[in-house]
Structure 1
Amino acid sequence: MMEIPGEYGSGSGTIVRLSTAFSALTGKPIRITDIRAKRPSPGLRHQHLEAVRTLGKICSAKIKGDQVGSREIEFHPGKIKGGTFDVNIETAGSIGLLSYAVLLPAVFGKDDTVLKIRGGSIASLWSPPVPYLENVLLPILSRMGVLSRFTVKKHGFYPVGGSDVEFEINPVKRMNPIVMKDPGKVESINGLSLSSALLKERKVAERQIVGFHRVIRKEKGVDVKPVYVESECPGSVIVLWAETSTWCILAGDHVGERRKPAEVVGREAAFRLQEEIKYGSTVGGHLADQLIPFMALAKGRSEIIAPDLTEHVKTNIWLCEKFLGSKFKTQEEGENFRIVCSGK
């Protein structure tokens, strides 16, 4: 059984989700110890637990220690299977993080995998919003042969959650490598300013766009749309993405918070996008760590240029090399880092 120290690197829930995903993918049983030991509230939270149990469903795994607060779990996977699976997130946990974890092994299943997710949030602090995944990560992964899609029937926000989302994943026989060495020039900036209909009278979606335009001016090729949705509690998010002449997609987003003016939310998302463009990298910081496992799974040489080697990037590289035997090379180049992987 493979031993995974849960306090390694960032020591976050990423270790739990990604280790379990790789276990399901490779068929290697694992024991994860000292789960989230560096966090103020160590052990499994609801959102980590639901991700582990969902991964268990798609490979008929036997799990020990799967309860809230547990600092150690064992995961004994079976074979990956396709099908439709019900997922219930009792809290406002991140749908994006759960979906990403399941995507990794599910793309190598025999049949389509469909998650019917009830509860949870489409946009939470410290996690990728679903609109970001739809417009940034998934389009990049489609170039590697990974085809998946979200259908959002009901939007949920923190602190209530209450989403109704389907996530469909198509299997792939061979994953193509991805090479992104040239950032190119920005050709368009698009975005989605999403708000609960409960905040429509306060024009939150429009005001987030006003804040965005205080940083990035209105001009041809810049288009951010306001959208209002039904939800069980107030909430908002603005997701921005810039597409370049070399097919790179850089992004910035920000989740609305209580007592934070909508204009400030839009402005901070714009600053994040502006910063990613300024670096001259081909992927943003978050996209870099999200692509690492897929680079390891691809057949052939993949290469990206990231703005930084974050703890999440380092942790993901460590897990890929541990589970898959992949070889990564990183090299500092000016303000950026070149990351190269020779996949299996």
Structure 2
Amino acid sequence: MLELDGAAGGGQLLRSALTLAMCTGQAFHIRRIRSGRSKPGLMRQHLTAVDAAAAICSADVDGAAPGATALRFTPGTIRGGDYAFAIGTAGSTTLVLQTVLPALLCANTPSTIDLQGGTHNPLAPPAEFLRDAYLPLLQRMGADVELELQRPGFYPAGGGALRASIHPCPLQPLTLRERGALSGLQALAWTSGIAPSVGERELAIVQRRLGLDAADLQRRTVQPPSGPGNALLLFARHEAVCEVFCGFGARGVSAEAVAERTCEAVRDYLCGSAAVGACLADQLLLPLALAGGGTFTTARITDHLQSNARLIEKFLPVEIDWHESDGCWQVDVRR
């Protein structure tokens, strides 16, 4: 049984360990889960990820309780099928999906998974990030996955719904050193239970700062609202990759401030040469390792990426390293 220290990162280390345990059949014991967070231990979205992983591979689990800081997970055989999990809060459905998706690609039959909870959470990738940025790269690696955002759910009310359809297939290595030419920029403003003018003000800033045409601006309102919420999503589409940037409305923060910060993130990315941003870079490591190799470039090496890389190396016979190259960082995954 692998012994893991969860103090090196947040919930991501637990989710990665669950994924890798399912895919490799290796049991693990993790301690000090999220010990550096203001509320250490397992929260509801982490427990949902554990429950989902356990259901999909008939695992034996010890220690899965609210606030627990240690967990043992012994996986069984992965089984495809139809699954449904409700987080019950605004906890991230996308993070739960990312936990079980690689395992379901290894199943013996196709699967569907329905998730209820938060789809647009400031501490997790929004549904559009998975749909437009993450999954297209997995599809280039051979994955057959479709994702449907059935209903947005915002923090703190939740109430969102996602459905994924997954057909088993092996992943192939991916090389992504360059993003290619820019093919388009688009913006989408979601509002739920607040004045639609908030989204209009955000899009006005985006249009002025990034020079978008009116046809590239969308405003959508959740009806009926599941609680107050606002998210601004900016899509930077290139030949080889789409990056998605998200800003969230919050009490005391103006729509203009949300839009300005999100536009600045897009401009920083466009001014650089890296293929992927920090969030997508971190999330590519695990599928590349399961595929047996790959390469990509990113603007910086985050603590999340480093801790995730060291965890992956405990489960799989791969080496993950990085070096500076032409003004950015190249990350290599090798057997």
TM-score by length of 1: 0.92
CA distance in 2, matches of 1:140, 1:257: 31
Alignment match of 1:275 (pick from 268, 278, 288): 268
Q: How many residues align?
A: 334
Q: 2:87 aligns with which of 86, 89, 110?
A: 89
Match for 1:237: what amino acid? A
Partner of 1:194: 190
Q: Is the 8 A contact 1:92 1:161 kept in 2?
A: yes
Aligned to 1:128: 125
Alpha-carbon contact 2:129-2:243 (below 8 Å) kept? no
Q: Deviations over 1:173-203 (max 9, x none)?
A: x21211112233322112322222x22x442
Compute the displacement of 1:159 (Å): 0.7
Please name the residue that 1:310 is paired with: 302
Does the Cα contact within 8 Å between 1:188 and 1:244 map onto a contact in 2? yes
* Identity %, equivalent residues: 29
Note the residue ranges of structure 1 that are not aligned, 5 or more in a row: none
Other-structure match for 1:25: 23
In structure 2, the residue matched to 1:238 is: 232
> How much has 1:333 moved relative to structure 2?
2.3
Distance 1:309 1:223 in 2: 32
The equivalent residue for 1:182 is 178
Q: Which residue in the other structure is 2:247 paired with? A: 254
Cα separation, 2, equivalents of 1:219 and 1:150: 28
8 Å CA contact retained: 2:207, 2:213: no
Kindly provide the CA deviation profile for residues 102-155 of structure 1, in whole angstroms up to 9, marking residues without a partner as x: 11211111112222222x111111210001111111112111111222223322
**1:88-115 deviation digits (Å, cap 9, x = unpaired):** 1121101111111111211111112222
- Counterpart of 2:78 (choices 77, 80, 86) is 80
CA distance in 1 between counterparts of 2:296 and 2:53 reads 28
CA contact (8 A) 2:133 2:241 kept: no
Q: Structure 1 residue 265: deviation in Å?
A: 1.7
Distance 1:257 1:5 in 2: 34
Mapping of 1:4-19 within 5 angstroms?
Answer: 4-8=4-8, 11-19=9-17
Aligned to 1:63, the other structure's residue is in SS state strand
1:295 maps onto 2:293 in alignment: no
Q: C-alpha separation between the residues in 2 aligned to 1:3 and 1:98?
A: 23
Corresponding residue to 1:328 among 320, 323, 326: 320
* Superposition deviation, residue 334 in structure 1: 4.9
RMSD, aligned CA: 1.7
SS at match of 1:184: coil
Structure 1 residues 234-277: Cα deviation after superposition (integer angstroms, max 9, x where no partner): 111122121224x1223321122122222222222211111112
Cα deviation for residue 167 of structure 1 reads 2.0
Identify unmatched segments of 5+ residues in structure 2. Answer: none
Deviating beyond 3 angstroms after TM superposition, the runs of 4 or more aligned structure 1 residues are none
Q: For 2:147 and 2:256, locate their aligned partners in 1 and report how far apart those are by CA, in whole Å.
A: 28
Distance 1:155 1:298 in 2: 32
Identify the residue that residue 140 of structure 2 maps to in structure 1: 143
Counterpart selection for 1:50 from 30, 45, 48: 48
Q: Is the 8 A contact 2:119 2:160 kept in 1?
A: yes
**How far has the Cα of 1:76 moved from its partner?**
0.9
1:210 equivalent in structure 2: 204
> Do the aligned partners of residues 224 and 91 (structure 1) sit closer, same or farther apart at CA in structure 2, a change above 3 Å counting?
same
Q: Distance in 1 between matches of 2:148 and 2:236?
A: 23
Cα distance, 1:82 vs structure 2:
0.4
Amino acid of the residue matched to residue 147 of structure 1? D
In the alignment, is the contact (CA less than 8 A) between 1:253 and 1:273 conserved in 2?
no
